[in-house]
Amino acid sequence: MTENITIRPGTNNDHEAILKIAAILTDWFDEDAIIRAIPTDLHFHKTIVAEIENKIVGFVTYTSHEGNVFIGWLGVDNNLHRHGIGTKLIEALEQELLSLGITKYEVETLSETIDHPPYIPTRAFYEKMGFEKGKSREIISTTGEKLELVTYWKNLRLF
């Protein structure tokens, strides 16, 4: 399956397809993310998309703040999980970062203290990709729910 995947920089023309993928990933993205946060962030984040036969099947967005780079959003079509698409997106992101001389980046996700089974493979994916678990922080969701986020970080090597 991975031999049919094309990875390329995202454009403004990809926003609708990205939002369609996000809308079906309700185990990971809540209503606020789908309706407000992702559409807003797409205007400010850089994006990489994965395509199969010219159809977008996955995306990763990233941004920086004060020189630190962060993954904003990562999503792959539900029907294509475990086909290497997320791995290819992360690898493309890392190539982009290294080309800019950036050797560290981070991502936040739900902590293991939150009982939400879809995030077990999410955390395992980041760990498989070489991320290390960092600090946790508590937030209040838009619905008032107390959540704990954990930061994963990864050092990249310049060759």
**Could you tell me which residues are beta bridge partners of residue 49?**
8, 59
Residue 93 contacts residue 60 (beta carbons within 8 Å): yes
| End-to-end CA gap in the chain | 29
Please name the fold of domain 2-155. Answer: Aminopeptidase (3.40.630)
Q: Give pLDDT, residue 154.
A: 97
**Residue 97 is encoded by which pair of tokens?**
């970062």
One-letter amino acid at 133 equals: K
Cα(107)–Cα(152) distance, integer angstroms:
5
Residue 78: pLDDT band with limits 50, 70, 90: confident
Cα(13)–Cα(51) distance, integer angstroms:
14
One-letter amino acid at 37 equals: A
Mean pLDDT (the chain, rounded): 92
Q: Give pLDDT, residue 145.
A: 83
Q: Is the pTM of this model over 0.85?
A: yes
Torsion of CA 11, 12, 14, 20, to 10 degrees: 140
Average pLDDT of the segment spanning 109-118: 85
